Amino acid sequence: MKLVISIGGSILLSELSAENFRKYAKVLKELSTDHQLVVVVGGGKIARDYISVSRELGANETMSDLIGIEVTRLNARLLISSLGEIAYPEPLKDYTEIPRVLSMEKVAVMGGIAPGQTTDAVAAIAAEYINADLLVNATSVDGVYTSDPRVDRSAKKIERMSAEDLVRVVMKSEMKAGARAVIDPLAAKIIERSKIRTIVIDGRNPENLKKIFGDHGGTEIVG
Ligand code: UTP
């Protein structure tokens, strides 16, 4: 199967440590024995720290996004290092490079691509472009909620939802460099237009990535 896995920086970089990267690399290596993998890496707190300093210095949103992209690519390089031989050695900067890398039987690792979006959108576009069988969004919550569970105690987890409903839920989120929503609105629109089979799972425990074909406990988005 062709899998695109988006690993939020908030989980991969919950702390900047070799051990954390090793844990995710181990599971990704296992998945890569049976599947073609594209892994998209987020920016995490480090990206947000850079973005807040760039804003303080007067940078506009595009400039701040470009700084965020650089950080996601640095993180992608660390994941590449932890994957070793099985990964293509450079973070991809263009979707059109993905098929060539997969045909070399290497794991393709990407960070950000363009201002005005997050790595969720990169993962959705990559999945659309290669006709992926499954898009996995591994994040710091255990699924899509009716509203943000970090601020709203009455928020309820949705186990199964349509892409149209996903768009409705995430359109409420703000669009700024470093913004945090469970899935960014552009990603949701891409998922909707191409009916990409998508799951949102709790990625805080890397072992959950092994459950993507079974009882993963997250949210299933169906066409
Ligand atoms: P992400 O928001 O994707 O990082 O990128 P993240 O840490 O995974 O987010 P969580 O884990 O969901 O919280 C960090 C920042 O980089 C810029 C944006 O400013 C984004 O907020 N970025 C990233 C882009 O401008 N374009 C991209 O394609 C990717």
Indicate the pTM of the whole model.
0.95
DSSP 2: E
Ligand 1 atom 28: the closest Cα is on which residue? 112
Q: Which residues of the chain have pLDDT under 70?
A: 173-175, 178-180
Alpha helices in the chain (DSSP H): 9-12, 18-34, 44-56, 61-83, 98-103, 119-129, 163-170, 185-194
Pocket test for ligand 1, best of 15, 45, 119 (most atoms within 8 A of CB): 119
Q: Is 51 exposed, middle or buried (0-12, 13-18, 19+ CB in 10 A)?
A: buried
Contact 25, 82 (CB under 8 A): yes
The predicted pLDDT at position 214 comes to 94
Contact 71, 49 (CB under 8 A): no
Reduce the DSSP state of residue 115 to 3 states and report it: coil
The domain ranges of the chain are 2-222
The predicted pLDDT at position 174 comes to 66
Q: How far, in Å, from the CA of 116 to the mean position of ligand 1? A: 9
Give the C-alpha distances (Å, rounded to integers) separating 185 from 1, 120, 192: 26, 9, 10
Q: Domain 2-222 is of which CATH architecture?
A: 3-Layer(aba) Sandwich (3.40)
Whole-number Å distance between alpha carbons of 52 and 72? 15
Structure-token match 């890398």, residue found: 101
Whole-number Å distance between alpha carbons of 118 and 177? 8
Contact 208, 201 (CB under 8 A): yes
Q: How far, in Å, from the CA of 157 to the mean position of ligand 1? A: 23
The predicted pLDDT at position 159 comes to 96
Instruction: Give residue ranges with CB within 6 A of ligand 1.
Output: 8-10, 42-44, 47, 51, 65, 68-69, 72, 112-115, 117-119, 122, 139, 177-180
Pocket test for ligand 1, best of 4, 118, 140 (most atoms within 8 A of CB): 118
Whole-number Å distance between alpha carbons of 6 and 9? 9
14-26: pLDDT as tens digits: 999 999 999 999 9
The predicted pLDDT at position 178 comes to 67
